[in-house]
Structure 1
């Protein structure tokens, strides 16, 4: 499965089967985590047993209490930490999709019960539920191309393809509070319009755009 195929196949899943992830897939996930941490300087962590991190009433009602495993998104505090978490966390999400696993970005979880390592100079930003979903999720309503793009003049195909994939990016509460600006035939800028976890969202959007456009921004 290519990354573009993974983007098109992947939807947020909040209800999971009791089935644990197989040891061979855990090995692949841990290897991918190590690769992404080495590239980014982050401290992403795959935690095989999610335990009780989704034990509050809202998460149980949504089905997240059934998630068998979790990815803790941790990194050193910095101005770009949240965006970096979104970018590299989404790379891990798409890799998990290629393994036949399902995921859900989760901002609400029990920070006291998650068994993540967080150094004094680090921050636990967000978590990603991971396992085998009871279904494959569903397509969410999306904004249009015109609602998220600011561009003057002709737009090249690579830009349009990038936006197409960006519109499939998961965002908090499906808010899609971002704008993609295009200028001078090559300059791309991602604008954060604010809201819960919007900086994380920008990182996810940027990841999708780069995969769709085939360009490093």
Structure 2
């Protein structure tokens, strides 16, 4: 697919496998990211940052401890990560949260392939310190950070508690998150794509994206539930992550298509071509 005239050669096929195995982790061992892995990630970030205007990923080779001081929130304490990614947007761009979610999750899946773990943090971090460490322009802001590193072999007590109490890895069924054309009438590719997209991580595991399948079976619209609800993590980021999973799956299945945006209707849709 092409976006904005840039031909993407990203590793969609490899990422399809990473979707199945990636899990959020918050506790890391004290180990620097291996140079080969870091080189692949930083080269890919250069490419991702060409995909859209008004949005970028910044690799910060520094422990994110200062960014999380006094900002534990519902995520639990994050410790030991040697580096983090910062998602930066130009506040004047359309669908900038979606774009940030898309390129951020691409980095997460690539990191997974290198044995690295990660954790999306969109609400509870010190945005002032993050902005200082990243170095942003006047019209930019950091909307999310993603610690990355080598996770501890065993879950920490906090991680165990969050998994047991918060159902942080429990997923809604495809039936619960799909609308439109009856499921028994879906083409085979639609079912595979919606299943992959349903594995998208979301803030507080709220799973606020619904997939509306067009009556022709060739369009999947990603709808935000309760879009007017006030949240400290914009739901557009969740939708962007789901968009990345959708595109990974369509590439895996060799389904050509393109994204269409409608700002007035707050609609983002994948249209098969």
TM over 0.5: yes
> Is residue 103 of structure 1 aligned with residue 118 of structure 2?
yes
The answer to whether the aligner puts 1:188 opposite 2:220 as a matched pair is yes
Alignment pair present for 1:90 and 2:105: yes
What is the TM-score normalised by the length of structure 2?
0.74
CA apart distance, 1:144: 0.6
Query: Please, which runs of 5 or more residues in structure 2 have no aligned partner?
Result: 1-12, 156-162, 258-269
Distance change (3 Å), C-alpha of 1:136 and 1:213: farther
* Higher RCO (C-alpha 8 Å, min separation 6): 1
Partner of 2:56: 43
C-alpha separation in 1, matches of 2:187 and 2:169: 27
Aligned residue in 1 for 2:249: 212
Give the Cα–Cα distance (whole angstroms) in 2 for the partners of residues 67 and 110 of structure 1.
16
TM-align CA RMSD: 2.1
Change (3 A) 1:202 1:13: same
Partner residue of 1:142 out of 142, 155, 171 = 171
Contact kept in structure 1, 2:63 and 2:80, CA below 8 Å? no
Which of 195, 204, 216 is the aligned partner of 1:164? 195
Match of 1:69 among 66, 78, 83: 83
Instruction: Report the alpha carbon displacement of residue 140 of structure 1 after superposing the two structures with TM.
Output: 0.8
1:45 is paired with a residue whose SS is strand
User: Which consecutive residues of structure 1, in runs of 5 or more, have no partner in the other structure?
Assistant: none
CA contact (8 A) 1:102 1:136 kept: no
> Paired residues, what number?
217
Residue 53 (1) aligns with residue 67 (2) = yes
Matched, 1:4 2:19: no
Deviation of the 1:156 alpha carbon:
0.8
Partner residue, 1:117:
135
Q: Which moved more, 1:90-99 or 1:129-138?
A: 129-138
CA shift in 2, pair 1:24/1:59, >3 Å: farther
| Structure 1 residue 57 displacement after superposition | 5.8
* Local SS of the residue matching 1:134: coil
In the alignment, structure 1 residue 200 sits paired with structure 2 residue 237: yes
Deviation sequence 1:42-93 (CA, Å, 0-9, x none) = 2210001034112226269923132221101012222311010001111111
